[in-house]
Amino acid sequence: MYLKSLEISGFKSFAKKATLNFTSPISSIVGPNGSGKSNVAEAFRFVLGEQSIKSMRGKRGEDLIFNGGGEGARVNRAGVKVIFDNRKRMLNVDFDEVTLERVVHRDNSNEYFINGSPVRLKDIVELLAHAHIGASGHHIISQGEADRILNANIRERREMIEDALGLKIYQYKKLESQRKLEKTEENMKSVESLRREIAPHLKFLKKQVEKVEKVQELREELRKLYKEYLKREETYLKLERAKIEVEKVPLVEELARLDIEIADARKILEGSKNRDAKSDELINLESVLHKIRMEKDAVMREAGKIDGEIYAGQRTIVKEKEKQTKDEFKTIYLKDVEEVVNRVSLLESLAEIKQMLFGFISSHKNKEDSALIAEVERELAELKNKKNESEKTLKTLDESERSRTLEYNELRQRIEREKDSNRDAEKNVFRIIARQNEVRGVLNGIKNIESRLVIEEDSFKREMQEAYVIVGREAVDYADLILIEEDRIKQHDRIKLIEKIKIRIEDSGAGNNIDILKEYKEVEDRDAFLERELVDLESSRTNLNNMIADLDARIDIEFKEGILKINAQFQQYFSLMFGGGNAGLNVIREKKRKKKADTDLSSVLSDDADIADIADATEEEGEEGIEINVSLPRKKVKGLMMLSGGERALTSIALLFAISQVNPPPFIILDETDAALDEANSRKYGDMIANLSTYSQLILITHNRETMSRAGVLYGVTMGGDGASKLLSIQFEEAVQVAK
C-alpha cells in the first residue's frame, strides 16, 4: 500500500484537524447525507493540485475554508496533507516517506509543500505525473461522474483513457516541447528580424571597408614610392650640396687671397712718388667697375631667386591642372547649383529635368576653374615682371660695364705703354682684377645653382612631412633602403605619380579608418553570432519537431495497445455485470460536414437554399477519438443511447474498472459510484471491488452495505451542531456488525 494517511484541517466542513489512516487495501467512508463525507474526495483533489474550484463545489478559494456554523467559529486557512509510503520509490524523490501539503488562505493565495519545503504547483504536478496520479484523473471518481465517460464526446473519452493509461506524462512532455517550439520559433523570428535590421548597415559598412581597404592599398603603394623617392632625393641633394661645396670653397679662398694681393698692390701704387693722374683715373675706373660688378652680382642673385620661385609656381600649376583634368575634381559654385534647383522647380516633366541637368553637367565638364591656379599665375606674372626689370637692369649694367671696361682697357693700354718703374704694380693689379672677375663669374653661377638647390631642399622637407602625415613613420624610415642608379627624369615621374595617389587618397572620403574597421568588425561579428544562433535555433526546432513526432507516435502506439487491453477487461466486467453481452472501444475519427463554396447569390436567397447546402456538403475527417459499442444479452439493445439509467451505471462502472486494471494507479477513490445499484448488482460490484483492490488501494465513499462489507476499515463521518464534520473509526469486526 502506497497511501498511508490523509490529514484535513479547516477544509470545507472539517473545522478541526481530522486524520484518516489507510491501513487496509479497502477503506470505506460512510455517513448520512450532508455530513461532509464527499469532502474527503474533494480534499484528495485539493492536495493533489486541482485548480478548478468549481470541481470542488466552490466559486473561489475561500469557499474551501470552513466558514463557521452554530457555535463554531470560522478559520482563516485550510490545509490538506497526504502521506505516501515511498520505499519502492513510486515517487521520484529519494525519501522513504513523502508528504504533500497544500494550504489556501482567505485572500485566495495557495502554498505547496513537499516534505515541509515550499515548492511550486508545477513541482507537485510533475512529481505525481511520474507515479500516474493526478488531481482530477480517473482514480478519483465522484458521485455522478461515473457516467461522464459515457456522456463525453469521442475526443474527451480519448483524453480520459490517455490519462488512465499513464500517457499524461507524454502529453505533458509534448506540451512542454510545443511551448519550447513556439518560443524557439519566436526567437527565430526575432533573430531573423535583427539580421534584417542590421543587414543594410552591414552592407553600407562593407562598402566603406572596401574603400578603406582601397585607400590602404593606395597608402601602401604610396609608402613604397615615398621611401624610394625620399631616399633618392636625399642622396641627390647631398651629392649636389657636396659638389657645390667642393667647387665653391677653393674659389672663395682664391678670391680672398686675390683681395689681399690687390690691396697690397694698391698700397704700392698709392705710395709711389711717380703716381700721376692716369693712375688716379685708372683707380677711379677700377672703383667704378667694382661698384658696377657688385651691383650686377646682387641683381643676378635676385634674378636667380626669382627663377627658383617661378619654377616652384609652375610646378604647382602643373599639379593643379593634373587634378583639373579629372571630372570628379571639377568645382561648381553654390550659386550655380541654387540656380539649377530653381530651374528644376519650374520644369514639369522628368525628361525636361534630365535634359537640363545633362546640359548643366556638360557646361561645367570642360570648365577649368581653380582659384589656386589663378593666384599662382598672378604671382608668376609679378615674378616675371620683376625678372624683366632685373634683366633690363642687368642689360644697363652690362652696357655700363662694357663702356667702363673699354675705357679702363684703353687707359690701361696707355699706361702700359708708359714704361716706368711703377707699371709692374699696376700690371699686377690688372692681373688680379681680371682673375677676380673670372672667379666672381664662376661663383655667381654656383650661387644660382645653390639657390635652385635650396628650393629643392625645401620641397624635399615638405614632401617628407606630408609622407609622415599621410602614410606614417614607415614612409620616412628609408635609411636601410638600397637603390640602383637611374636617370634623374625618373625621379620627376615618381613625384608626379605620388601627387596623383595623394589626390586619390584625399578624395576617397573613407573617413576614420580605425572607427570604420572597428564598427564593421563589431557588426559583422554580431551578424555571425545571430547566424550561428539561427542555426542552433533551427537545429532545436528540428529536434523539438522530431521529439513531438516521437511522442505522438509513442502515445498513439501505447494508446492503441492500451485500448486492446482495456477491451479485454471491459468485456470481462461487462459480461460479469450483465451475464453476457458484448462491449468494446473503437478508435474512430470524427466526421465533419463542410459546405462547398457557393458564389451564386441567387442560390443563397432561394427557397431551396437549405436543400442545396445539404446536397453540396462534403465530409472531412476530424479529430481521432473513442467510440463505445455495447450489446446487452437477451435484448435487442445496441448502443449507449438505448441503455436505461441502471444499465448505463453498470456499463460505466465496468468500463472504469477495466481502465483501472490495465494500468493500475496506486490508489482509487470511489465517491458513491454504487448509489444506483440494486442488491444483486451491488454484490457484483462488491466482487469487482475486491478484485480491483489487488491492483490498487481503494477508498470508498458509500451508503451501500455490500460495499461497506468489503472494507477493512470504516470511517464514519458525522456533523454536530457547530456545522463541523467529525470522524469515527470502526475496525473490520465492527464494520461487519454495522453492515448486518
| Contact yes or no for 717/727 (Cβ under 8 A) | yes
Nearest CA among 314, 333, 331, 327 for reference residue 373: 314
553-560 mean pLDDT: 90
Nearest CA among 144, 140, 142 for reference residue 38: 142
R_g of the chain computed on alpha carbons:
59
The rounded distance, in Å, linking the Cα atoms of 231 and 413 is 57
In a domain, 33, yes or no: yes
Average pLDDT, the chain: 83
Beta bridge partners of 99: 83
C-alpha cell at 668: 482509487
Q: 385-432, pLDDT tens digit by residue? A: 888 888 888 888 888 888 888 888 887 777 666 555 566 777 788 888
Q: How far apart are the first and last CA of the chain?
A: 28
| Contact yes or no for 128/49 (Cβ under 8 A) | yes
**Whether 111 and 229 share a structural domain:** no
Q: For residue 453, is pLDDT > 50?
A: yes
Query: What does the pLDDT read at residue 397?
Result: 84
Could you give the percent of the chain with pLDDT greater than 90? 25
Beta bridge partners of 700: 28, 670
pLDDT: which is higher, 648 or 591: 648
User: Of 456, 480, 506, which residue constitutes the final position of a domain?
Assistant: 506
| Contact yes or no for 191/198 (Cβ under 8 A) | no
In a domain, 490, yes or no: yes
In a domain, 428, yes or no: no
Number of H helices, E strands in the chain: 18, 14
In a domain, 408, yes or no: yes
C-alpha cell at 677: 445499484
**Whether 367 and 290 share a structural domain:** yes
Confidence tier at 67 by pLDDT (50, 70, 90) = confident
Structural domain boundaries, residue 115: 1-138+707-723
Q: CA-CA-CA-CA torsion for 597, 602, 605, 606, nearest 10 degrees? A: -110
Angle at 617 between CA 613 and CA 618, to 5 degrees: 175
In a domain, 106, yes or no: yes
CATH code: domain of residue 76 = 3.40.50.300
C-alpha cell at 100: 504533500
**Whether 214 and 123 share a structural domain:** no
* Residue 454 one-letter amino acid: V
**Whether 121 and 18 share a structural domain:** yes
DSSP one-letter string for 39-65: HHHHHHHHHTT---SGGGT-SSGGGGB
618-639 mean pLDDT: 79
| Contact yes or no for 663/142 (Cβ under 8 A) | no
**Whether 208 and 355 share a structural domain:** yes
The rounded distance, in Å, linking the Cα atoms of 559 and 551 is 12
| Contact yes or no for 138/157 (Cβ under 8 A) | no
Query: What does the pLDDT read at residue 167?
Result: 82
The rounded distance, in Å, linking the Cα atoms of 247 and 257 is 16
User: Of 474, 506, 538, which residue constitutes the final position of a domain?
Assistant: 506
| Contact yes or no for 141/164 (Cβ under 8 A) | no
- Residue 223 CB coordination number (10 Å): 18
Q: For residue 163, is pLDDT > 60?
A: yes
DSSP 645: H
How many domains does the chain divide into?
A: 2
C-alpha cell at 30: 460512510
- Residue 405 CB coordination number (10 Å): 16
The rounded distance, in Å, linking the Cα atoms of 679 and 700 is 17
The rounded distance, in Å, linking the Cα atoms of 430 and 432 is 5
**Whether 205 and 119 share a structural domain:** no
- Residue 326 CB coordination number (10 Å): 12
User: Of 489, 506, 523, which residue constitutes the final position of a domain?
Assistant: 506
**Whether 237 and 124 share a structural domain:** no
| Contact yes or no for 630/581 (Cβ under 8 A) | yes
Q: Among positive and negative, which fits the CA dihedral 111, 117, 119, 123?
A: negative
Find the range with the poorest average confidence among 118-132, 136-150, 198-212, 428-442: 136-150
| Contact yes or no for 648/567 (Cβ under 8 A) | no
Confidence tier at 605 by pLDDT (50, 70, 90) = very low
Helices (H), 471-590: 488-506, 513-578
| Contact yes or no for 660/668 (Cβ under 8 A) | yes
The rounded distance, in Å, linking the Cα atoms of 314 and 311 is 5
Q: 246-280, pLDDT tens digit by residue? A: 988 898 888 888 888 888 877 776 655 445 677 77
State which H helix or E strand residue 669 sits in: strand 667-671
| Contact yes or no for 63/167 (Cβ under 8 A) | no
**Whether 203 and 127 share a structural domain:** no
* Residue 382 one-letter amino acid: E
3-state secondary structure of 2: coil
State which H helix or E strand residue 591 sits in: strand 582-594
Angle at 643 between CA 642 and CA 648, to 5 degrees: 145
In a domain, 613, yes or no: no
**Whether 337 and 474 share a structural domain:** yes
| Contact yes or no for 79/10 (Cβ under 8 A) | yes
Confidence tier at 152 by pLDDT (50, 70, 90) = confident
The rounded distance, in Å, linking the Cα atoms of 51 and 108 is 12
**Whether 290 and 405 share a structural domain:** yes
In a domain, 257, yes or no: yes
**Whether 89 and 209 share a structural domain:** no
Q: For residue 736, is pLDDT > 60?
A: no
Q: 2-53, pLDDT tens digit by residue? A: 899 999 999 999 999 999 999 999 999 998 888 888 899 999 999 999 888 8
- Residue 619 CB coordination number (10 Å): 9
* Residue 440 one-letter amino acid: R
Helices (H), 271-370: 277-324, 334-346, 350-365
DSSP one-letter string for 485-497: ---HHHHHHHHHH
In a domain, 251, yes or no: yes
**Whether 276 and 392 share a structural domain:** yes
655: Cβ contacts below 8 Å, ≥ 6 apart: 149, 150, 566, 570, 573, 574, 583, 628
User: Going by DSSP bridges, is the β-strand pair 26-30/713-719 parallel, antiparallel, or unpaired?
Assistant: parallel
Q: For residue 361, is pLDDT > 80?
A: no
Q: For residue 616, is pLDDT > 60?
A: no
